[in-house]
């Protein structure tokens, strides 16, 4: 065996050992069931997307709880975060918000109503369009969104740490997921 083959074999064995050290999950149980009733299936895609879906759901639940402690829902966070990311003066039209967040005008109106009542944003006439409105983040809204984004990132970082991924592995996973997402969106 050549040195490169030996190191590749060692790397594969190390990977197998690392994977074996991770506790089996609900996706493994599903794959095991399919193996019994349909041993002809190659289930790697099911393993990938099943875990991506479950990971996304678990993190969405954790993030929702984090945002609620700060006083907003995930949907409300999305609105104020979009305004925050737009830069000063943190102002967009309801139409721009709806298209960015892929919401109907009715869905957007409900969120804007709640956020305005909470004092996190204000609606005012658009000075460039007499029929239009503009939505602006208030100073309180700016403070809330900054607290929420920081807390959300801390929650995500804690999940990565708990998973045992180091920084290089997390960066590699992010790159692989970007590649996967591009392929799924183009298919």
Q: What is the pLDDT of residues 92-145, one digit of tens each?
A: 999 999 999 988 888 899 999 999 999 999 999 988 888 889 999 999 999 999
Question: Could you tell me what percentage of the chain is helix, strand and coil, using 3-state DSSP and rounding each to the nearest 5?
Answer: 75, 10, 20
State pTM to two decimals: 0.80
Q: Which two tokens stand for residue 84?
A: 């925050």
Q: Would you say residue 176 has pLDDT above 60?
A: yes
Q: Report the C-alpha gap between 53 and 48 in whole angstroms.
A: 9
Q: Report the C-alpha gap between 104 and 120 in whole angstroms.
A: 21
Q: Would you say residue 22 has pLDDT above 90?
A: no
Q: Which two tokens stand for residue 154?
A: 């801390």
pLDDT in tens, 36-48: 999 999 999 999 9
State the pLDDT confidence band at 11, using cuts at 50, 70 and 90: very low
The residues, any chain, with a CB within 8 Å of residue 119's CB and separated by 6 or more, are 138, 140, 141
pLDDT in tens, 57-97: 999 999 999 999 999 999 999 999 999 999 999 999 999 99
Note the residue count of the chain. 187
The residues, any chain, with a CB within 8 Å of residue 83's CB and separated by 6 or more, are 90, 91, 92, 97, 121, 135, 136, 137, 141, 145
Q: How does the average pLDDT of the chain come out, rounded?
A: 89
Q: Would you say residue 2 has pLDDT above 70?
A: no
């Amino acid at each position: 065996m050549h040195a490169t083959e030996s190191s590749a074999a060692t790397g594969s064995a190390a990977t197998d050992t690392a994977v074996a050290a991770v506790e089996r999950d609900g996706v493994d149980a599903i794959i095991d069931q399919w193996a019994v009733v349909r041993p002809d299936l190659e289930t790697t895609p099911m393993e990938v997307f099943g875990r991506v879906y479950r990971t996304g759901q678990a993190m969405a639940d954790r993030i929702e709880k984090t945002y609620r402690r700060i006083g907003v829902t995930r949907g409300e966070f999305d609105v104020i975060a979009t305004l925050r990311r737009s830069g000063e003066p943190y102002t967009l039209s309801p139409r721009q918000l709806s298209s960015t967040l892929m919401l109907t005008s009715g869905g957007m109106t409900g969120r804007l109503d709640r956020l305005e009542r909470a004092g996190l944003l204000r609606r005012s006439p658009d000075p460039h369009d007499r029929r239009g409105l503009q939505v602006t983040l208030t100073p309180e809204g700016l403070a809330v969104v900054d607290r929420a984004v920081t807390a959300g990132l801390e929650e995500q970082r804690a999940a990565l740490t708990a998973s045992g991924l180091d920084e290089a592995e997390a960066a590699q996973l992010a790159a692989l997921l970007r590649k996967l997402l591009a392929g799924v969106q183009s298919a």
